Amino acid sequence: MLISGLLLDDIRQAARTLAYDLMLFYEGNRTGMIPGILPGPPDDGLGDYYWWQGGAMMGTYIDYWHYTRDPSYNDVVQQGMVHQVGHDRDYQPRNFTASLGNDDQGFWGMSAMLAAETRFPDPPEDQPQWLALAQAVWTTQASPERHDEYCNGGMRWQVPLTNQGYNYKNTIANGCFFNLGARLARYTGNDTYLEYAERTWDWLWAVDYIDHENWRVYDGAHIEHNCTDLNKATFSYNIAVLMQGAAFIYNHTEDPKWLDRTERLAERCLRDFFPDGVAYEIPCEFRRGQCSTDMLTFKGYVHRWLTVVAQLVPSLSDTILPVLRTSAEAAVRQCSGGETGRVCGFYWSSGEFVDPAVDSTTGAGEAMNVLAAVSSLLVHGAEPPVTNLTGGTSRGDPNAGLNSDIYRKYDPLTTADRAGAGIITFLVLAGGLATWGWMSTGD
């Protein structure tokens, strides 16, 4: 499977093939299986994947449809997205409270927002609508119950207080909230969303999760240390989720400070995570077998979000898009495994296929990454994210989420329930004092 020098129709066909292969990992459209999720969670022995990764996969297919206009999987995506909304229609399904982090809920919310922005086919009238779902997620996360006085604000990683990681305030949880607020502000024109997004950015800056000198974005810290025990692990999706949110705000407000922030984050993201123009996950890729199931999906998000940044901030297009093309070419070059001769691995730089089993997965994340990278090459033929003034049709509900039961008592966790939302599969929070010294050194 090659990309370089191909016509647009050839790229679309390559994307179709990748989309077909990725869907082979999905069981939610089979009789008796649960729509919307990949097989898992691993702690229950049901598969390699956590609940939030289903939401990320749905978002990948929404982008696939947006760039290729192939509707083959739209019904599957719509069914999965609606099935997982939960009792209160806010992406807090009770079956997955054991792995319910603010970031997990945030990923589903961002996929719903993407559906609204791309005019993905709406659900039936009696079902929750995309914009209303995004608003519901934002509203539950804007609740004062999610922003306590520890570390002078900011959201915790986990939602139920019984979950491991409840004492950790991290970038991705707050980054998803920031990103969603930025997009809702642009889509609806409601400045309340913008105010909260600005407040979240200011908090991330104040606790030094965004490095004031080099603009690297760090993972998080613990409340018992007032968020001063900074974990300087740098994951690509942390910087990318902030960069995309900043681009949405700049596109909405034309405020130069948001252009500057977008540019600085984009420069750092490309420099650190695309050495030689190919996506590379710094914390784990240096040694095969060290990447968690979560980390094995990050390259796809970064490709997708950088692509949107190039749309929203045209001055960055000539910087971003050539890198993404080089990276996509490297990605497909190593898709040469399995019986079909086109199974994809995670390690793109070498150009050699490495079986996903090396990282103890079946390969859904690896396939999702390459599909995202190839689909995004078709960005020149796609419209940028719409708003309710530029063609958006999804029906919103500003009251969505207000009736969510944020005081709901969660069932006690069993050992099998302790699924690893976010990066729990890699970070062992022993008494809340985890450190990754080997990833926290150097500039």
Domains by residue range for the chain, with CATH: 8-385+412-429 (1.50.10.20)
Could you tell me which residue, 368 or 422, shows the higher pLDDT? 368
**Burial environment of residue 362 by CB neighbours within 10 A (0 to 12, 13 to 18, 19 or more):** middle
Cβ burial, residue 297 (10 Å; 0-12/13-18/19+) = buried
Do the Cβ atoms of 368 and 300 come closer than 8 Å?
A: yes
Band (97; pLDDT cuts 50, 70, 90): confident
| Lookup result for tokens 């999965």 | 80
pLDDT for position 6:
66
Separation between Cα atoms, residue 368 and residue 364, nearest integer Å: 6
What residues contact 186, with CB distance under 8 A and at least 6 apart? 248, 249, 251, 252, 385, 387
Closest CA to 302 of 115, 172, 135: 172
**Mean model confidence pLDDT for the chain:** 91
pLDDT one-digit tens code per residue, 340-361: 999 999 999 999 999 999 999 9
242-289 pLDDT, tens digit each: 999 999 999 999 999 999 999 999 999 999 999 999 999 999 999 999
Q: Does residue 426 register a pLDDT over 80?
A: no
Report the distance separating Cα 299 and Cα 90, nearest Å: 27
Q: What is the pLDDT of residue 404?
A: 86
Q: Return the pLDDT at 5.
A: 62
Q: What is the pTM of this model?
A: 0.91
Mean pLDDT of 298-310: 98
* Mean pLDDT of the region 361-365: 97
Question: Residue 395 burial (CB < 10 Å; 0-12/13-18/19+)?
Answer: middle
User: What pLDDT is stored for residue 405 in this prediction?
Assistant: 72
265 touches 216 (CB < 8 A): no
Of the candidates 147, 81, 72, the one whose C-alpha atom is nearest the C-alpha of residue 110 is 81
Instruction: Record the tokens describing residue 211, joined without a space.
Output: 């490095």
pLDDT, tens digit (0-9, with 9 covering 90-100), for 123-179: 999 999 999 999 999 999 999 999 999 999 999 999 999 999 999 999 999 999 999
The pLDDT, as a whole number, for residue 394 is: 98
Q: By C-alpha distance, which of 344, 363, 368, 342 is closest to 48?
A: 363
Count CB atoms within 10 A of the CB of residue 405. Answer: 12
Give me the mean pLDDT over the 332-336 stretch. Answer: 98
DSSP notation for 356-391: GGGGTS-SHHHHHHHHHHHHGGGGGGSPPPP-TTTT
Name the phi and psi angles at 291, rounded to 5: -85, 135
Amino acid at 289: G
Q: What local confidence, expressed as pLDDT, does residue 440 receive? A: 30
Whether the per-residue pLDDT at 12 is higher than 60: the answer is yes
Cα 386 from Cα 393, distance rounded (Å): 9
Query: CA angle, 370 as apex, 367 and 372 as ends, to 5°?
Result: 110
Place of tokens 């077998």: 289
* pLDDT at residue 427 in the model: 36
Tell me the pLDDT band of 101, cut-offs 50, 70 and 90: very high
pLDDT score at 103: 98
| Residue 291 region by backbone torsions, left for phi larger than 0, else alpha for psi between -120 and 50, else beta | beta
pLDDT range class, residue 375, cuts 50, 70, 90: very high
